[in-house]
Amino acid sequence: MDDVVIARALHVLAVVIWIGGVSMATTVALPAVRHGDLGADRFRAFQAIEHRFVWHARTSVVIVGLTGFYMTARLNLWERFQSAQFWWMHAMLCVWLLFTLVLFVIEPFILHRYFHQWATTAPDVVFAWLHRAHWVLLGLSVVTIFGAVAGSQGWSVF
Ligand code: HEM
């Protein structure tokens, strides 16, 4: 079972790097960018942080997905997806799918093309929405992590 132990360790390590970065972006970087603390050009300040972090996030999402599906297959946990008691398994999958969509589809194909234009036309509105979206993703992730750690130790709300 050493392989499952290693997969779990890699899974959690990647979650820490990824969601830790999302937390930093939401609670520290974005407020600083919005208030102009990193320079008057908010788009440039945001880009400088985002284009570096996006690769950490993408790599982590791939590792979390591979290790997550590996553990599910190896321990044959597919039945859990049919039970509400294991809501945190559904939550992990949903958070992973959501971030995969954001990082591999929305960011490169939509934000990369149109964000500069939006951010120069209505910067206050655009950065407020961006910040709100980060809070939603962070909130879902935090609940998921809490549920997964407690749930894998046998705790359940149902
Ligand atoms: C493709 C998506 C994912 C799959 C298939 C998956 C699968 C798994 C499995 C099978 C476990 C072990 C459960 C057990 O031992 O009973 C686990 C643990 C865990 N997962 Fe995921 N996961 C996924 C995504 C995520 C995401 C997105 C997060 C965080 C936001 C996350 C956070 C955790 C945490 C914190 C644990 C508990 C580790 C521990 O306390 O030992 N997972 N995951």
For the stretch 15-69, pLDDT in tens is: 999 999 999 999 999 999 999 999 999 999 999 999 999 999 999 999 999 999 9
Cα 14 to Cα 2: distance, rounded to the nearest angstrom: 18
Quick check: is 113 in a domain? yes
Q: Tell me the average pLDDT of the chain.
A: 95
Give which of 148, 20, 147, 155 is closest to 72, Cα–Cα.
Answer: 148
Cα 24 to Cα 91: distance, rounded to the nearest angstrom: 22
Percentage of the chain exceeding pLDDT 70: 100
Total structural domains in the chain? 1
Burial 83-105 (b: 16+ CB within 10 A, else e): eeebbbbebbbebbeebeebbee
* Ligand 1 contact via 8 beta carbon (within 6 Å): yes
* Ligand 1 contact via 91 beta carbon (within 6 Å): no
**What integer pLDDT is reported at residue 120 of this predicted model?**
87
SS3 (DSSP) at 109: helix
Amino acid code (one letter) for 97: L
Please state whether the predicted TM-score (pTM) of the whole model is above 0.75.
yes
Quick check: is 158 in a domain? no
Residues 6+ apart with CB under 8 A from 35: none
Quick check: is 61 in a domain? yes
Give which of 3, 19, 24, 28 is closest to 61, Cα–Cα.
Answer: 19
Residues 6+ apart with CB under 8 A from 140: 91, 94, 95, 98
CA of 77 to the centre of ligand 1 (A): 11
Quick check: is 22 in a domain? yes
Quick check: is 157 in a domain? no
CA of 93 to the centre of ligand 1 (A): 9
Cα 32 to Cα 63: distance, rounded to the nearest angstrom: 30
Determine the average pLDDT of the residues in 90-118.
94
CA of 157 to the centre of ligand 1 (A): 17
Quick check: is 138 in a domain? yes
Domain that holds residue 84: 2-151
**What integer pLDDT is reported at residue 116 of this predicted model?**
87
Quick check: is 156 in a domain? no
Q: Classify residue 111 by its DSSP letter.
A: I
Quick check: is 31 in a domain? yes
